[in-house]
């Protein structure tokens, strides 16, 4: 285990609980155990199977670390719930409910500010171009970390777009056998943008297509429902 993860175990434990407590009734119903008991099983999986193997991609210095460690909270939850008979679609539904509740739990003013940010192409471009440069600098030191490229001008029909060129989530899934979770993890982007009122439309993912993940915002367009998962709907989006 990398020293960064070893020294921050308690923080990750609190983070795991911060998400999963929001779906405690569903988790208890599937497992037949009290939340406090099943949480320990989930934490044990996260600590021994995930933290033990996560690559170091920059730690607290890069936002992508939270993407990796946070997304895989749901993988540990899923792996444990499988022991009690849960199927992937059920696990995916809990993931969506949990993440939706987490975002809606944020103070209203914070969600309002974030929503306005994602609806301001000029501000988005300025912020993301800075992030592109920071990610490139970090990737030069920590290969395999997130790399992004803002599309200026945006792709046709979009108000803003950027590409994820490298995705540690997908790379980790392939290496350790968590591929079935990736479409559901990608679907969580639709949850976040949807709750904030920013219409996301994505046609590529690093995991499925092997090239890049595209984040395209079409302001004023209809919000895509995020359940059933976007990848399972009758449209070209992922």
Q: Give the β-pairing of 160-166 and 213-217.
A: antiparallel
109-144 tens-digit pLDDT? 999 999 999 999 999 999 999 999 999 999 999 999
Rounded to whole angstroms, the Cα distance separating 46 from 13 reads: 9
Q: Are 191 and 92 in contact, with CB atoms under 8 Å apart?
A: no
**Confidence band of 94 (pLDDT split at 50, 70, 90):** very high
Cα 94 → chain centroid: 14
Q: What would the mean pLDDT of 101-106 be, rounded to a whole number?
A: 97
Percent of the chain with pLDDT over 90: 99
Q: What is the reported pLDDT for 123?
A: 97
Task: Give the integer Cα–Cα distance in Å for 186 and 207.
Answer: 9
In this prediction, residue 146 carries a pLDDT of 97
What is the mean pLDDT of the segment spanning 203-219? 95
Residue 134's pLDDT is: 97
Helix then strand then coil, in percent of the chain rounded to 5, is 60, 10, 30
Sign of the four-CA dihedral 48, 15, 85, 31: positive
**What are the sequence ranges of the domains in the chain?**
3-104, 108-232
* pTM above threshold 0.95: yes
Average pLDDT of 60-78? 97
Residues 45-61: tens digit of each pLDDT? 999 999 999 999 999 99
Q: How confident is the model at residue 185 (pLDDT cuts 50, 70, 90)?
A: very high
Average confidence (pLDDT) over 77-100: 98
Residue 31 CB contacts under 8 Å (≥ 6 apart), including other chains: 38, 80, 81, 84
- DSSP state at residue 86: -
Per-residue pLDDT, 33: 98
Residue 76 has what pLDDT?
98
**Token digits of residue 22:** 């929001």
């Amino acid at each position: 285990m990398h020293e960064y993860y070893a020294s921050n175990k308690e923080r990750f434990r609190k983070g795991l609980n911060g998400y999963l407590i929001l779906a405690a009734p569903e988790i208890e119903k599937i497992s037949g155990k009290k939340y406090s008991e099943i949480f320990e099983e989930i934490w044990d999986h996260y600590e021994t199977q995930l933290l033990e193997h996560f690559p170091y991609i920059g730690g607290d210095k890069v936002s992508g670390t939270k993407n990796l460690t946070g997304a895989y909270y749901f993988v540990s939850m899923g792996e444990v719930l499988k022991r009690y008979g849960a199927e992937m679609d059920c696990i995916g539904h809990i993931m969506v409910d949990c993440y939706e509740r987490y975002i809606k739990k944020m103070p209203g003013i914070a969600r309002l500010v974030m929503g306005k940010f994602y609806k301001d192409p000029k501000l988005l471009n300025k912020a993301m171009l800075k992030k592109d440069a920071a990610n490139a600098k970090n990737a030069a030191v920590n290969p395999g970390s997130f790399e992004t490229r803002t599309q200026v001008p945006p792709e046709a029909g979009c108000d803003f777009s950027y590409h994820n060129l490298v995705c540690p989530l997908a790379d980790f899934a392939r290496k350790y056998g968590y591929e079935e979770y990736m479409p559901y993890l990608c679907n969580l982007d639709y949850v976040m943008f949807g709750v904030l009122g920013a219409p996301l439309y994505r046609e590529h993912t690093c995991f499925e297509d092997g090239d890049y993940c595209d984040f395209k915002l079409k302001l004023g367009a209809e919000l895509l429902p995020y359940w059933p998962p976007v990848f399972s709907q009758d449209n070209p989006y992922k």
